[in-house]
Chain A
Amino acid sequence: MRNSIPTAALSEFVNEVQNTPEEAVMEYGIEINWESGTRSRTETKAMKVGPHQVSRSFSWKSDEPRQLMGNNHGANPQELLLSGLGSCMMVSFIAGATAAGIQLESVRIDFDATLDLRGFLGIGSNATVGFPEIRYTIHATGDASEEEFAELHRKSVAHSPNAQTILNPVKLNGAIVSTRIEG
């Protein structure tokens, strides 16, 4: 199997979706509970893969470093954001390479990003609240030419759901349910 992905099954899934588009609809959810201070715990909800329910029993914690009033017990939300972005770009890169017949030997993506917390802190400045820029480098080895890898890079970002979510405006529809506890 090339890159440990069955190309035949990938191709069969593509052709299945062309005939039954509902098979391409994925529903996800997570639940985050505040534990203490800046630390919280995330759990995945069951997922829907097309018209079928799939158990997703995964959890992780996030925290801030002590310098930011946390205890440094987990990756922080910015690292998790980069992780979600990069892992998605990785899936896209590997799937694209497999479809194109490229045998990969190694792939590493290096991410760096700088955040100016003045936005978060509300200190007046020109700083954006979010990342103004995310920098990454893909280090790939495999049996493709420089041009083929460049094309794969371009296509894989263009088809990465998380990269496209970050690059394009997305609606964030929220609500709050609050209960006042009388002291």
Chain B
Amino acid sequence: MSNEKILGDPSSKSPRHTADDWLNTLDRARKPGPFLADHAAPGSGMSTVSVHAGTHDDPRTGAVGTPIYQASTFVLNDNQYQSVEEGFARDRFIYSRYGNPSQWAVQEKLAALEGAESAIVFSSGMAAITSTVMALVDKGAHVVASSDLYGGTYNLFNQEFPTMGMSCTMVDSYDFDAIEAAIQPNTQLMYFEAITNPLLKIIDIPRLAEIAKRRKVRLVIDATFAPPVAMRTLEHGVDVVVHSASKYLNGHSDLIAGVAAGPRKLIDMIWPRLLNYGGSLDPHACFLLERGLKTLAVRMRAHEESATALAKYLEGHPRVKKVFYPFLESHPDYATARRLLKNGTGNITFVIEGGDAAALRLVNALRIPKQATSLGGVESLISLPFNTSQATFTSRQRADVGIDPGCVRLSVGIEDAADLIADFEQALAAIYAKKEPAYA
């Protein structure tokens, strides 16, 4: 009955120790992974990496692509028991909350795309964010974060942190002096977003990384709006990159997932939080995410192509007051975008004449973009900050953060630019042609 095969990462071995010496003779060093098998780099192009990295054909049947390992638990042998005893259980299959081959495959692909040593997938972006933050802070810790964070992350810092005796100072991500001034002796983490929502500010991450390193603080970046292909965030000196994988990474608006990627040392610190908080990703969702990722590079090119054409069209429309798209020269961060982004994305934010009422009529008049929150899917999605992401704000609070009446959030999918433009043309024509009823 005894099976001595290594069920896990075959290159991960127990630390050995020479009896005559002290701790210095322990011989296990950290290495990237865990990986299902030695897997030669398939190439360096982002499309090649998207398709091949981490994908392991079924060794038993030769079936192409990673099988779905829909199992909650694994047959145990001495190797797994030893991994628990010696503290390297992350490298063996024991129980799917700890790790599962379907998770490992997609984690390897994500790590390769981000240029990271290791990655962990989670059951949502917020599970990834909470586990990452909590792994990098201690009792009494302080965090410096951006003042225009995603609402879920804002709630973590604003609602959960004080309960746990921790605090967060939120600062304008353009104001580097204020960021430095906010760092205290107990500050352990700087937390920012690569591209903000909804105004699509491009944050100068290399500058933040310089501050973090000099002030001995870790830097975590949420790069949901700037997936690899657009930006390899870790290359700019970031400690850990997190994403809501439900957006561009998966790209099909059909699952909820998150990921944290970075050096093995830090991802190994996050792993116990995955176990404690329990945000593990189901094997079938891993399969969907891995399949979605295979087309990441080609999708990102299509997003950029359609979004750029539509942004230009909107910028020229007489009823559109402002367009925010990082690759338009009119964008306030155009130079930073050209420096940091290797590819555009699908997010466009624009403001139309007639305020939020006109914006509401616009989203109802459009035929292609679906009126839904989220972003990064192959289908265009459209929503309004005033009744979704910033609905709890007063109109003055929205104005203070730069969200004007008539502001529209658009995530351009991969539909043909000509069709999208035609749809916006008809919708804009329709909503401004109608005379407002006197009682409206």
Contacts and interface: CB of A to CB of B under 8 A. Distances in A.
B140 A45 contact: no
A7 interface: yes
Interface in B4-25: 14-15, 17, 19, 22-24
Interface in A1-41: 1-2, 5-12, 14-16, 18
B17 A100 contact: yes
Tell which of B27, B87, B213 has the most Cβ of chain A within 10 Å: B87
Contacts of B30: 12, 15-16
Contacts of B265: 12, 16
A96 B22 contact: yes
B213 to A, nearest CB: 8
A101 B268 CA distance: 22
Given A45-B185, A57-B186, A99 B23 contact: yes
A73 interface: no
Nearest to A19: B29
Size range of the interface on A?
A: 20 to 34
A149 B217 CA distance: 41
Contacts of B140: 55-57
Nearest to B184: A46
A52 B17 CA distance: 29
B216 interface: yes
A119 interface: no
Contacts of B218: 52
Contacts of A18: 24
Contact of A100 (B19, B28, B165, B185): B19
A107 B84 CA distance: 22
A125 B169 CA distance: 58
Contacts of A15: 26-30
Contact of A6 (B17, B88, B215): B88
B85 interface: yes
B165 A57 contact: yes
Nearest to A15: B29
Please give me the 9 A-B residue pairs with the lowest Cβ-Cβ distance, nearest first: A6-B87, A57-B140, A11-B26, A11-B15, A15-B29, A8-B88, A46-B185, A55-B186, A55-B141
14 contacts: A1-B85, A7-B15, A8-B88, A10-B15, A10-B23, A16-B30, A16-B265, A45-B185, A51-B216, A52-B217, A53-B185, A55-B140, A100-B17, A101-B17
